[in-house]
Structure 1
Amino acid sequence: MPTAIAVTSRELVLPPPDGQTPSAVVLPSPQDKPLDGCLAAAQSLLDRQGYLVVPYAGATPPPAIRRLRTVRALLESDRIALLPLDLPPLGVAVLARQLRRLSVCDLSPGVLASAARLLAHYIHAGAQLASVARLDRVPVGLGSHVRSWLPGTRFGVLAHPTPRLVKVGGGDDTPPAPGYAVHFTVARGHQHTGDWVTGTLASAWRAQGVQEVPLPPESARWWGTGRLTEFAAEIPDLSVLYQLVTSVRRQECHWCGLELIGDRCAFCSSPVPSAAAPRALAAAPSALASAPPARPALTSRPS
């Protein structure tokens, strides 16, 4: 049965890399549509698509998160998967696009939804910031806080998968590169150049390409400043993403009966019995070993 991927704002719907990738459903915010309208829209979507998967970031406004949970509860539906992710907003948008691409493959709804946690591990998300004074999602030392008040100081921050903060223009100002080919998606804040991201970092990581998109509205809140350029580096090859997911052992959820990978069902939240819990990342290195070699970075801007 087909599976729809939904996001909480229009900026999280990234351009598809091909003509086969379906778009994401943009869920209305509480101030844009009353609850009864959201219930009717969600029910209609389930009737057409069968299942609904909603990844969202920790910076999503609390009223929007409450609305998601309310709609799921009132519909009493086990066909809606709400996926809170420990990723910055642009990283969530990139992951949503990966799920959209995989949704046209022969993956069951339970496997597709539970694959989000696996795929998130391979997204390197960060930003170039003018200040880290209000950054509370990545460890920031006292010295970096003090330097935030000096004019012209810039910081490079890797928030996921391993937090790291560097001073742009310092001796070692690039975090270690992923061990596989990546593509950069970049979003600039107001009057921010982001040259460290599109130049230094993309070159050091040998990015296969750089795509620029609008900045998600939640990004300034997540990073503690609007003077930023956010980036997310992802595996660009759909065949590698598919191999990562299909290399993991599947099993049936003992509560709702859906197929899943990992240690918890994304739809009913039922955990897998500990004795049977698979090691979700065990097969990943062999899948990544088949990835194509990286090519020099190419920058494309939206028209």
Structure 2
Amino acid sequence: MPTAIAVTSADLVLPPMDHQTPTAALLQSPEDQPLDAALADMTVLLEQHGYVVALYPASIPVAHERRLHTVRSVLESNRLALLKLDLPPLGIAVLVRQLRQLSICDFSPGVVASAARLLSHYIYAGALLKSVTRLDRVPVSLKSHAKSWVPGSQFGVLANPNPELIKIGAGRLSGPEFATRLVMAKGQLQSDWVTAELAPGWQTQSVHEAALPADSPRWWGTARLIEFAAFLPDISILYQLVSSVRREVCTWCGIELIGDRCGFCSAPLAAPESHSKEVLALNPGTTTATNHAP
């Protein structure tokens, strides 16, 4: 069975791009589900899939985040990965779909979990905003704040992979240098800038529309927005990208991973230099003899 992908909000589950991509499980908030029911649901997921990779926004309510860690602690399960993401809501939804795609490939659960950090660097997530006066997720200058009070002003904002802000009509947002598709979600703002200017400028292959995630207005500081995210859509490219990274074994929990941190226990990968120092400390006589060998 494929590794189960789970989310904390149903609007983070975008429609699949093919008939093979599975959906994601929903981990409800404490207000919507008692602890006993949450434990029972997670037990079923673990029994059916073996491993669960749960992704949730950094902006999630504290009580909901605490619930996730409580479930993991009570079940004493090292087969549940909790991945906290600081991407905008639509960017998280895109990443969730990509992990859903990878979950049916021949990757181990640890590689699927740690692939989230890798793939997030290839997601260009931003929004068209009517105002940036309440935007606190991306650095905004006092000059931009002042311009937001000018009638008719609109701003293009990029939150990931690198923060960037422009006034529409006075610049262009830096885009990906590789082929992407673009998904957009409309809030209370009418504009064709995303489809008429941004998408052609970024040379995106196609544009698709999705429902605006419920948390997007709070994340961006306004409901007058159009959120967008450019991403790698092809499963073969995602597979090649993840496969190209060297795989390691977590020295703490023993699970396979890519990158520098385990997706399941969050332990950092020991650097080669640190490993050498440990060997040197454990075998000083052997090392000294080696260093003096002709």
TM-score (norm 2): 0.90
Matches within 5 A, 1:98-109: 98-109=98-109
Contact residue 158 and residue 164 of structure 2 kept, 8 A: yes
Aligned to 2:221: 224
**Amino acid paired to 2:177:** G
The Cα of 1:133 is off from its aligned counterpart by 0.3
Residues in 1 aligned to 2:252 and 2:143: alpha-carbon distance in whole angstroms: 51
Contact residue 187 and residue 215 of structure 1 kept, 8 A: yes
The Cα of 1:107 is off from its aligned counterpart by 0.3
Contact residue 7 and residue 54 of structure 2 kept, 8 A: yes
Q: Residue 239 of structure 1: which of 236, 239, 255 is its match?
A: 236
The Cα of 1:150 is off from its aligned counterpart by 2.0
User: Is it true that 1:183 corresponds to 2:181 in the alignment?
Assistant: yes
Q: Secondary structure at the match of 1:145?
A: helix
Aligned to 2:34: 34
Contact residue 194 and residue 228 of structure 1 kept, 8 A: no
Aligned to 1:203: 200
Contact residue 59 and residue 219 of structure 1 kept, 8 A: no
Residues in 1 aligned to 2:123 and 2:69: alpha-carbon distance in whole angstroms: 26
Q: Secondary structure at the match of 2:68?
A: helix
User: Is it true that 1:260 corresponds to 2:276 in the alignment?
Assistant: no
**Amino acid paired to 2:30:** P
Residues in 2 aligned to 1:104 and 1:2: alpha-carbon distance in whole angstroms: 5
Q: What percentage of residue pairs aligned between the two structures are identical?
A: 60
Contact residue 14 and residue 210 of structure 2 kept, 8 A: yes
Question: Number of matched residues?
Answer: 274
Q: Secondary structure at the match of 2:166?
A: strand
Residues in 1 aligned to 2:260 and 2:95: alpha-carbon distance in whole angstroms: 19
Q: Deviations over 1:80-125 (max 9, x none)?
A: 1111122111101000000000111100000010010000000000
Aligned to 1:128: 128
The Cα of 1:61 is off from its aligned counterpart by 2.2
Residues in 1 aligned to 2:226 and 2:67: alpha-carbon distance in whole angstroms: 29
Matches within 5 A, 1:131-142: 131-142=131-142
Residues in 1 aligned to 2:65 and 2:187: alpha-carbon distance in whole angstroms: 24
Specify which structure has the higher proportion of helix. 2
Contact residue 131 and residue 154 of structure 1 kept, 8 A: yes
Aligned to 2:151: 151
Between 253-262 and 122-131, report the one with greater CA deviation: 253-262
Q: Deviations over 1:43-67 (max 9, x none)?
A: 1111111111112222222222111
Q: CA RMSD in A?
A: 1.3
TM-score (norm 1): 0.88
User: Is it true that 1:71 corresponds to 2:68 in the alignment?
Assistant: no
Q: Secondary structure at the match of 2:94?
A: helix
Contact residue 250 and residue 259 of structure 1 kept, 8 A: yes
Residues in 2 aligned to 1:267 and 1:72: alpha-carbon distance in whole angstroms: 11
**Amino acid paired to 1:23:** T
Aligned to 2:280: none
Residues in 2 aligned to 1:35 and 1:199: alpha-carbon distance in whole angstroms: 48
Contact residue 91 and residue 125 of structure 1 kept, 8 A: yes
Q: Cα distance 1:276–1:75, how it changes in 2: closer, same or farther (>3 A)?
A: farther
**Long gaps (5+) in structure 2:** 275-294
**Amino acid paired to 1:195:** D
Between 71-80 and 123-132, report the one with greater CA deviation: 71-80
Q: Secondary structure at the match of 1:166?
A: strand
Residues in 1 aligned to 2:51 and 2:194: alpha-carbon distance in whole angstroms: 37
Residues in 2 aligned to 1:276 and 1:55: alpha-carbon distance in whole angstroms: 32
